[in-house]
Chains A and B, each alone.
Chain A
Amino acid sequence: MGTELRYLSPEWRDEAEKRLRTELSAERMNFVTSSMSNVYLNCPDGGSRYLVFRFENGELAELLLGQGEPPTAEFKITGQYETFARITRAELSSHRALMTGKLKLKGNMVKALKLAAIADRMNKVLSKIPASY
């Protein structure tokens, strides 16, 4: 795939879903059942967006892209669009973003720790999508 997709566009979401399904097996996802919503503040158009990942037994059941208040998820991560973009471009680790307060996590931290490695695997897949920001 040679052309760049606009980050968080419907086309980028479709490509993300395709890659997550093909590159992350249920086993690789530890057969996890959980959900996480990323809330992107101050997107280039001035608004905010959300991206909700829902996994059932390690299979991606849903990947929702939208605007406004996201549907309820087990974890909610909120941050500036630019912060998420830097993470996706591998310029900033998600751990550092959390530890410096650039991202805000809502949800049970103990459970989140169990899922940290899985989240890293997802980020790695998403970072390979050629994208413009």
Chain B
Amino acid sequence: MDKSDDPYFIDFPGRIRAIQLEMAKQGIDAYLGSRLRTLSWTLDAFAPWRSFVVIPAEGLPTAFTFVIDAARLADDSWLDEDHVMGFAPMGGQDQIELIADFIKELLPGGKGRLGIESGMSNYLPEGNLTHYEYERYARALPGCELVNAHTIIDRLATIKDAGTINRFREASRMVDIGHQAVLDALQDGGWKGKTETEIAGLAAYAMRKAGSEWEWSFTGGNEIASGYRTGLVGGACTPASRRELREGEPLMVDLHAMFKLGLGDHAHNYLIAPVTERQRWHADNFIDIVKRTLQTYRAGITPSGLAEQMIGFADERGFADYMVPGFEHGIGLMGDEWRIGLNDGPFPYWTNPDHVYCAGELIICAMQYACPDEGIGFRYENPIVLHEDHCEPLSAFPLRVDEIH
């Protein structure tokens, strides 16, 4: 299927050629990718097991994964089965020997510069080369100089193409279906007796029925928090618990769907009646700052500049104490869920606060409002596409804090 037929088309061979062009500029003869984001971005397939992609100076890449999943990965990927290899604990077939032999055959005399992916991340499944792997590859490839080269992928992946954005758009549509299913299930007394895990499950069912592949987030799938759990200090990670919903409490529903490695991620918030004036005040603060943030996001601004403006607004309104001072996190095809842009900030492998957003970037607009003393909090997350003069939120579920009875 070509670009004109498929709204989700991504030019993966073109991506590989772009990587190879950068490799040539940097004198890199082969690239050994190990990060989940690199695997998704180059293979168009989910790689749940430890996997690698070897990109030669010219021609097609070859993926390597645990043999039990290699045929499935080849079936999902744009690569044919000759370019997806399985490794196993067998002579000549363990990942180090198999891949090292493969790289040696690519390089004349087994010598050259090999790009690797090294670094650190708050995101557990990032997939940087481990110290052990580095030492084993270095020993198995005595003719190679191993150089850290992940910036090649990071730079190329920053601006999203139309196919990627459409995948996120479709995943966001699925998330909205999940939110509607939750709302339908909660209203008119439906909330009574329900637990956080049950809400996570019924949303998952609705999204899967709509075609979502999974609730991809490593933070426990769909994140649901009720009562005091919505307002944990600085908290923006709430795997669903077995806690039962209670009247007079807040409820936060943060859903995740996946479509062709594109990720939906949207949080919606509720107050279970009876609602106090103070709770409504918190809720209105939250909605107002989300609206203001969405009006502000565009190309040309920076994370630190936006944060200053929004905290200033919250301060004027008297709720700055309740704002977690971060308004975004990075996002890309499955496995890219952490830093925004390049590793060029004052703290290695954290988002550069002075990163200047460009049109075509896709991030998660993310905000957490938390008042632990009152046991109340709200979360907003939504993938947004940055344009020159505005941003485009991909989830369209109405922005409000719903009161349910």
Q: A98–B90 contact, CB under 8 A?
A: yes
CA distance in complex: A101, B81 (Å): 25
Q: Is A1 an interface residue (CB 8 A)?
A: no
Main secondary structure of the interface of A (DSSP, over half): mixed
Determine the chain B residues whose CB is within 8 A of the CB of A78 once the complex forms: 92
Q: B91–A110 contact, CB under 8 A?
A: no
Q: Is B84 an interface residue (CB 8 A)?
A: yes
Q: B91–A109 contact, CB under 8 A?
A: no
CA distance in complex: A94, B61 (Å): 31
Q: Is A18 an interface residue (CB 8 A)?
A: no
Q: Which of A80-107 contact B (CB under 8 A)?
A: 97-106
CA distance in complex: A84, B93 (Å): 18
Which residue of chain B has its CB nearest to the CB of A108? B85
Q: Which of B48-91 contact A (CB under 8 A)?
A: 67, 70-71, 74, 81-82, 84-91
Q: Is B198 an interface residue (CB 8 A)?
A: no
Q: Is B101 an interface residue (CB 8 A)?
A: yes
CA distance in complex: A99, B91 (Å): 6
Determine the chain B residues whose CB is within 8 A of the CB of A110 once the complex forms: 67, 70-71, 74, 81, 84-86
Which residue of chain A has its CB nearest to the CB of B105? A106
Per-residue B-contact encoding for A41-85, CB less than 8 Å = 1, 0 else: 000000000000000000000000000000000000011000000
Q: B91–A98 contact, CB under 8 A?
A: yes
Q: Which of B71, B82, B92 contacts A105 (CB 8 A)?
A: B92
Q: B85–A109 contact, CB under 8 A?
A: yes
Q: B91–A102 contact, CB under 8 A?
A: yes
Q: B89–A99 contact, CB under 8 A?
A: yes
Determine the chain A residues whose CB is within 8 A of the CB of B101 once the complex forms: 106
Determine the chain B residues whose CB is within 8 A of the CB of A97 once the complex forms: 91
Question: CB within 8 Å of B: which residues of A?
Answer: 78-79, 97-106, 108-111, 113
Question: CB within 8 Å of A: which residues of B?
Answer: 67, 70-71, 74, 81-82, 84-93, 98, 101
List the 9 closest A-B pairs by CB distance, nearest first.
A104-B92, A104-B91, A109-B86, A98-B90, A101-B91, A110-B86, A110-B70, A105-B92, A103-B91
6 A-B contacts, Cβ less than 8 Å apart?
A99-B91, A105-B92, A105-B93, A110-B67, A110-B71, A111-B81
